Amino acid sequence: MTQQPWQWDEQTWRGHVEHVRAGRALRPASWPGGAKVAVALSFDSDHETPALRDGEVLPGKMAQGEYGARVGVPRILKLLREHNAPASFFVPAVSALLHDGEVKSYVDDGHEVALHGWIHERNTALTETEERDLAFRAADVLERLAGTRPVGIRTPSWDFSAHTLAITRELGLRYDSSLMADDDCYELLEHGAPTGVVELPVEWIRDDAPYFMMDRFASLRPYTPPRGVLSIWRDEFDAARAEGGIFQLTMHPHIIGHRSRVTVLSELLDHISGHDDVWFATHAQIVDHVLKERS
């Protein structure tokens, strides 16, 4: 009979907690060029893949995702060029295959292309073999389209299974960006042992989806006005700068790319760029720097 959690002995509950854990802190003593803060902008180019994953294949859902590639991505790339801000694009392989030339447009503008699953699958619903197969297939696709093999991963929906870290290590990736144990980079431990994999943490506070997602057939509605989100993100940046840490942001072209929302991102970038002690960098560049500083 399966035990309930309150029936577990200490070895069992402690084993779950310590399976994947935060290890040594990796905040560097300084950022390049004397910057006080590193700004890590990221975009999950999901487009149609969450709907495809769920078998929702009618035109309405497809159009909602297509907006991200057709309208959102060009707006975002233009804005990033205006601010000379490199970013990281986490791309499901199916998105990359559906939208010919999109991955190349990221590379041509100096951005990073990183792993984000095959079809935005839920890792915790997969077997270890299935998760590994999809991860390696996705890496092969992105390597072919981007010209270089990805060095980082963000699991779809930040859904981190019992096997994800081991697969990440098999892939030879330098970092993950799916977990939330700190504001700044740290090394991941597996069963108490250092892995060499760096975590560049995310947080739902710094993600556009919780504020703006909408599903007419579910109780999912956007309740926070866009400029309310601007206020939260601006405060997050100001605090990160005061602490000398990282301001990391996760966005989606089909969500942030709409007019009233990309305006908020533009105003946020104006605020950030108004400081002369900011380092805009890709996730990979930040990871390389913290490893160099803390080696």
> What are the pLDDT digits (tens) for 83-136?
999 999 999 999 999 999 999 999 999 999 999 999 999 999 999 999 999 999
Tokens of 95: 């998105």
pLDDT of residue 28: 96
Alpha carbons 244 and 238: distance in angstroms, whole number: 10
pLDDT of residue 2: 87
**How distant, in Å, are the alpha carbons of 146, 239, 240 from that of 138?**
12, 36, 33
pLDDT of residue 283: 99
Alpha carbons 118 and 22: distance in angstroms, whole number: 27
| Average pLDDT score, the chain | 97
pLDDT of residue 116: 98
pLDDT of residue 100: 96
pLDDT digits (tens, 9 = 90+) for 129-142: 999 999 999 999 99
pLDDT of residue 220: 85
pLDDT of residue 241: 98
pLDDT of residue 215: 85
- Does 260 have pLDDT greater than 80? yes
pLDDT digits (tens, 9 = 90+) for 269-280: 999 999 999 999
User: CA torsion 119→156→97→215, rounded to 10°?
Assistant: 70
- Does 295 have pLDDT greater than 80? no
